Amino acid sequence: MLFTDLVPDIIFAILAFLDISTVISIAQTCQLLHSLAFSKSVWIALVEDLRLRSILDYGPNLQESSVDELIQLVKRTVLGPDSWLSGPRMSAVVAQRKIHLHPPMSSSIDSMPRLLPSGRHVFLNNSTILECWSVAEDRLVWRHKPAVEYAQVLQYAVEEKPAEGSVVIMICERTFPPSPDVPRSNYVEIIQLDLDTGGIMELLFTLLPGPTVVDNPFYLPVICGAVAAVATSSSQAEYLFLNWVTRSSLALTCTCDSPECLPQITLIPGHILFKTYNPFTAQDELLVAPLTALKPHWQPFLQQETGTLIAWSRDIVFAADLTDLTIFSDPFLWKSIARVSVFANPLKTDAYRVWVYYVPLGGETIPASHRARHWVYFPRASAYQSYALTVATACQWQRCAPDMPPTLRNREHSLGVTYAGHTFVATYTLPITRRLWVVPRDGVSEDGGGDEHISLCRPEDECSDGDVSPFGGAVTFAKKGGIVLSYFD
């Protein structure tokens, strides 16, 4: 029996459970399957799956959209806004729509506003108090109340669960008691927040052991499912993993090449990805390991007499000791890894696009032999490079060349990159002021003399660093007077 012999309703049901790439491949086999694959019911299911995967926001009503409009939504997810595609006079591009939120803020600096993938809520660190605001209603949904006295929020990570209408939040806190005689303490709190009611359920609250002399010991917190992780120093490759379901933790350390090695870690379903340094090749490397590789190393939390849990690990786990490691380094780049961004592929399941932000090796001379064969080399600039990562059966890396966004120079700093490669950039001058703009993929940065950038914020606006949506292209930042969300078509 052939696939085409099935009744259309069964074919529709099968197509709705496939990813977009597979559906398009099936559509190319014959006219009958092409007609069925491009039916509205199939594409509504495919686009709805993107929403459940936290890739597409909850903007247009899918039932009222045509098949062509649904396909355009998918194209926008992959390529970004049409107005961001490189072309002349990009500086003339303006946001087609802006939304202003008005949280009472004493300062916009370091507020770290982030728009959730659904597009419905914004989180921000408002003067060390974490808040969630409704975009549609300009309303405070929830404000965090520290569980211990004098605690302030330093970092946070959010995982949205669209099907449940909730988020799981990892909150990194430190106490700052007024008396110098009282030691400062570090805590991690994990809660589940109902976005409709503002109600919370505490999943974990734990004290972190170790030195307390560093005022901000948290760097790059991430959370995915039951596992959360955070670098415990911005200058050392040391990571703390927490499992809020099993109430266990472990400490992981990686090789570092300098006192300022900028640890990098991210979590994807079933796997961890982090940076380490190979002293034999004198290069940074990316390591991918299944979460099952951590299983022998988890240690249960200790419990104080007061009932407070303490995250600890009897032994430090070295990255090289993990099993089933997949190691990747780019032989064409002789640079240091400063940032790693991982995005789910909208078209394929179990596939990801990894953007690696490379910066020059400070003060080091690259041997002539390496300069000859490492054909992508920027001695005075930083740049992104993208890679395709698949984890379906075994981890596989593939370099996406020549898929590189613009080079950044001088005072320009990347604040993030989208799935398509559009770069969110800031400049810092003295006194501390910020200018924010988007440099489209294949565009030219402002400092590089180009006009292919989209200006967002001026220094007099006192903008925060902000955030860019990885798929939809919405830009969120704080300025004097509140939060600004800019949307581009």
Model confidence pLDDT, tens digit, residues 408-443: 655 566 778 899 988 887 776 554 556 777 777 765
Residues 300 and 411 in one domain: no
Phi, psi angles (nearest 5°) of residue 26:
-65, -40
pLDDT value of position 448: 42
Average pLDDT value over all residues in the chain: 82
Lowest mean pLDDT among 68-72, 275-279, 379-383: 379-383
pLDDT value of position 351: 93
Of 366, 400, 434, which residue sits at a domain end? 400
Between 85 and 313, residue with greater pLDDT:
85
Judge contact between 230 and 218, C-beta under 8 A: yes
CA–CA separation, 381 and 336 (whole Å): 12
Pairing status of strand 423-429 against strand 433-439:
antiparallel
pLDDT value of position 190: 96
Between 57 and 400, residue with greater pLDDT:
57
CA–CA separation, 48 and 474 (whole Å): 19
pLDDT value of position 401: 57
Pair of tokens at residue 146: 């520290």
Cis omega (within 30 of 0) on the bond before 259? no
- Which residues form the domain of 85? 80-111+404-489
Would you say residue 54 lies in a domain? yes
Residues 264 and 326 in one domain: yes
Residues 69 and 167 in one domain: no
pLDDT value of position 199: 96
Of 34, 62, 77, which residue sits at a domain end? 77
- Amino acid residing at 104: P
In the chain, pLDDT over 90 holds for what percent of residues?
42
Residues contacting 276, CB < 8 A, separation 6+: 237, 254, 255, 256, 284, 285, 287, 319
pLDDT band for 284, please (50, 70, 90 cuts): confident
Phi, psi angles (nearest 5°) of residue 121:
-140, 150
Pair of tokens at residue 328: 């990747």
In 3D, which of 61, 6, 21, 67 has the Cα closest to residue 42? 67
pLDDT value of position 408: 61
Predicted confidence (pLDDT) at residue 45 exceeds the cutoff of 50: yes
Lowest mean pLDDT among 189-193, 424-428, 447-451: 447-451
pLDDT band for 254, please (50, 70, 90 cuts): confident
Residues 85 and 71 in one domain: no
| Sheet with 336-344, edge to edge strand ranges | 336-344, 351-359, 383-390, 396-400
pLDDT tens-digit readout, 128-187: 899 999 999 999 999 999 989 999 999 999 999 998 999 999 999 999 999 988 888 899
pLDDT band for 320, please (50, 70, 90 cuts): confident
Exposed (0-12), middle (13-18) or buried (19+): which is 142, by Cβ within 10 Å?
buried
- pTM recorded for the entire structure: 0.88
User: What total number of domains does the chain contain?
Assistant: 3
Exposed (0-12), middle (13-18) or buried (19+): which is 189, by Cβ within 10 Å?
buried
pLDDT value of position 223: 97
Residues 164 and 255 in one domain: yes
pLDDT band for 95, please (50, 70, 90 cuts): confident
Would you say residue 343 lies in a domain? no
In 3D, which of 417, 431, 469, 416 has the Cα closest to residue 109? 431
CA–CA separation, 376 and 448 (whole Å): 18
Of 400, 428, 444, which residue sits at a domain end? 400
CA–CA separation, 348 and 236 (whole Å): 35
pLDDT value of position 405: 53
pLDDT tens-digit readout, 465-482: 688 899 988 999 888 788
| Sheet with 139-143, edge to edge strand ranges | 114-115, 121-126, 129-134, 139-143
Span 8-25, mean pLDDT?
91
Residues 319 and 445 in one domain: no
Span 191-214, mean pLDDT?
86
- Amino acid residing at 184: R
Judge contact between 203 and 181, C-beta under 8 A: no
Predicted confidence (pLDDT) at residue 73 exceeds the cutoff of 80: yes
- Amino acid residing at 365: T
Residues 202 and 284 in one domain: yes
Would you say residue 137 lies in a domain? no
Would you say residue 381 lies in a domain? no
Q: Which of 77-91, 164-178, 296-310, 389-403 has the highest mean pLDDT?
A: 164-178
Residues 71 and 101 in one domain: no
pLDDT value of position 257: 62
Counting every residue written for the chain, the total comes to: 489
Residues 322 and 468 in one domain: no
Span 93-106, mean pLDDT?
86
Span 98-111, mean pLDDT?
82
Lowest mean pLDDT among 92-101, 184-193, 228-237: 228-237
Residues 47 and 156 in one domain: no
Would you say residue 373 lies in a domain? no
pLDDT value of position 477: 87
Span 452-477, mean pLDDT?
78
In the chain, pLDDT over 70 holds for what percent of residues?
80
Residues 155 and 244 in one domain: yes
pLDDT value of position 211: 55
Strand partners, 425: 414, 437
pLDDT value of position 407: 57
Residues 333 and 421 in one domain: no
Predicted confidence (pLDDT) at residue 212 exceeds the cutoff of 70: no
Between 274 and 305, residue with greater pLDDT:
274
CA–CA separation, 256 and 262 (whole Å): 9
Would you say residue 56 lies in a domain? yes
Judge contact between 12 and 41, C-beta under 8 A: yes
